[in-house]
Amino acid sequence: GFEYALGEAFQWLPDGSGLAIKRLDQSRGAIVRLADGAMVTFDEWIAAIAPDGGAVLHPSGAVSAADGTALAPLPGAADCAEFLNVAHAWSPDGRLAYTLTCGIDGAPPAGANRLTIIEPATGAIIWQKELPVGLFPVGWLPDGQAILLDDAAYGSPIWRLAADGAGEPVMIVEDGTLLDIIPAEE
């Protein structure tokens, strides 16, 4: 069985070949393959799955391949001595944008609010950029050309940052809450 987790309890793999059970029990998550019923279990809950289905992000900052193989953890995740929060957004091509906060009060590790973009399969850092305090990634534009940022305030501005990190964040909505990004039909 599974225990209910806040947010989504299940997530389809992008190709529809399996179903992720984000919180299988007190500490594990799983992916069930529909073709043969095989189940891959993970030693930790599942926070999110990459759009290509190849990588799994866990709440501790650990990263796994969808077959259960451990990949390099998120750079900087080990800098939190206590509770870790990973604000993240997957790009359409599978890159991962994230910021980290530590502890109940949500302070960034070493006092810097650093947006990091990695290649999950290798753990390689593509680029990093200091953000104003409180901003974190919430999505990518469907064409992968920009990252959308928000902060924890209700009805806060939504910002856009070039996907290569160039320039400064630009406010695109003065007062709003991002619910989802829906790609336009071609």
pLDDT tens readout for residues 81-100: 777 899 999 999 999 999 99
**Distance between terminal CA atoms of the chain?**
41
Confidence at residue 83, expressed as pLDDT on a 0 to 100 scale: 79
Confidence at residue 3, expressed as pLDDT on a 0 to 100 scale: 47
Whether the per-residue pLDDT at 108 is higher than 90: the answer is no
Strand 136-140 with 124-130, pairing: unpaired
Who's near 183: CB < 8 A, 6+ residues apart? 142
| Rounded Cα–Cα distance for residues 110 and 160 (Å) | 25
Tokens matching residue 83: 């509770």
Give the mean pLDDT of 132-160.
89
Bridge partners of 168, per DSSP, are: none
Whether the per-residue pLDDT at 52 is higher than 80: the answer is yes
